Copies of this chain bind each other. A is one copy, B any other.
């Protein structure tokens, strides 16, 4: 059994899910893959606060302690500044990195991927888009033989929760937003979700994978959902339609056109069946045609499952430098 040491940065919703899932699945992974995933240290803000199900002795307030002793660093801090500094240090220390941080990738993805290549380590980021749906892998590995023509999807679970609650319960926007906050799907400050910015960040990550060569020239239009009214949704329904926030990336005459916008879709459209906090993506390939992926796009355990799958992938294929140690 090969031991792989994991350092976890951040112990919020996804971080706690990751610890729970790793605990539950560690033995199964060991007997299947011959790797022992050992969680060595966890970065937290307050290491004296007890956390259910988590060994207090693993907690530390020192990111350096977490990073320097690890084969794989899992970054679940969120945000751009500290997270970026942590990831840069991890790469420089020859750790592979797993991150769910779409904001960081949107802001500094290219720089970080170049840095990883320079240090001959890897960054995995399945959890950064659509939680547990393995859409990143589909683009990185499953559909590499085809030319992708477009990517579209419901990429923000909060917006979808709000729109489908307005639809199902006849709520207005403000009431549906409160409902989303009560249910834990929306942050107290939900600007990033509502404005479409969160979906745009995820779309940019998908577009970079789908259109690797052309993606230097990008035209992006991003519209939020805060002005969707109950009346609009009712009128759509009278036409047997629904309103969804749809993010779309497509090739257009040498550039990449990115849009996040509300769209009215007929009841029979596959995205119309995507309700509450669920996500869905349709990839259109020249050879494969349209392919739909749908499932839970957020939440503690689904996102943690994507993080853990990345950790397993990296651990299964150790870099030369890891195999030597």
Contacts and interface: CB of A to CB of B under 8 A. Distances in A.
B142 A308 contact: no
A289 B296 contact: yes
A134 B145 contact: no
Interface string A78-113: 000000000000000000000000000000000000
Nearest to A288: B132
A247 interface: no
Given A31-B213, A147-B25, A142 B309 contact: yes
Given A287-B21, A288-B132, A307 B126 contact: no
**Size category, A interface:** 35 or more
A291 B289 contact: no
A91 to B, nearest CB: 21
Contact of A143 (B144, B305, B317): B305
B291 A295 contact: yes
Interface in A182-212: 212
B290 A295 contact: yes
Given A287-B21, A290-B295, A145 B302 contact: no
Nearest to A299: B289
A309 B273 contact: no
Interface in A270-290: 270, 273, 285, 287-290
Among A126, A146, A304, A309, the most chain B Cβ lie within 10 Å of the Cβ of A146
A299 B213 CA distance: 28
21 contacts: A21-B145, A25-B147, A29-B144, A32-B212, A134-B142, A137-B141, A141-B141, A141-B309, A141-B313, A144-B308, A144-B312, A145-B308, A145-B312, A285-B305, A287-B302, A287-B304, A287-B305, A288-B301, A288-B302, A289-B295, A292-B293
Interface of A: 17, 21, 24-25, 28-29, 31-33, 126, 131-134, 137-138, 141-147, 212-213, 268, 270, 273, 285, 287-296, 301-302, 304-309, 311-313, 317
